[in-house]
Amino acid sequence: CIFKFFVGGSFFLGGGVLRGRGARAAPKKKRGPRNTNPRELLVKMNAEPAWTSKTLQVRYAETDQMGVVYHANYLVWFEIGRTDFCRQHGFAYREMEQQDGLYIMVAEVRCRYKAPARYDDDILVRTCLKAIRKRVLIFGYEVYRQAADELLAEGETVHVITDREGHPRSLPDKYRDLFAAGPNGQG
């Protein structure tokens, strides 16, 4: 048995809506640009990106009740790697904020966990700039347990260059040049 009833200008039938007299159709939504995937819009840096490395030691406070590093700490390590990457390319991120009023805002994060890190492990955070665009940077990361040269996690972050108010801005050429020169100017 199918029930049909009339409410506010529309006929309802089994959960679906059938339009009756006087019913208004919902306004059509405007479509944005179809190509909104940042990976499709970016220009790749080099075939082989230049990696920088930062050694860290897992602190007890970074582990959970199971004795392994809590998953969110990998994102903190990504930030440490990214900050060190900038230093090794000739500038401090803090200087970018203070002198140019620019910020590297995180828009997207991806992390794939391969094996757990544990308290007191010596780990190596490797960072590279995978792609660069006028207003977008994509960094790649690898986290290794140094003793066994074991990959623990890999990931990437997508960033938008903004001003103090959060408005998108172009990355100045001086930073592009520093990135292109490679770590410690050895590009």
Q: With contact defined as beta carbons under 8 Å apart, do 78 and 139 qualify?
A: yes
Is 64 catalytic? The answer is yes
Distance CA 24, CA 22 (A): 6
Quote the tokens at residue 64.
């959970």
* 87: Cβ contacts below 8 Å, ≥ 6 apart: none
How would you label 77-103 residue by residue, b for 16+ Cβ within 10 Å and e otherwise?
A: bbbebbbbbbbbbbbebeebeeebebb
As annotated, the active-site residues are 64
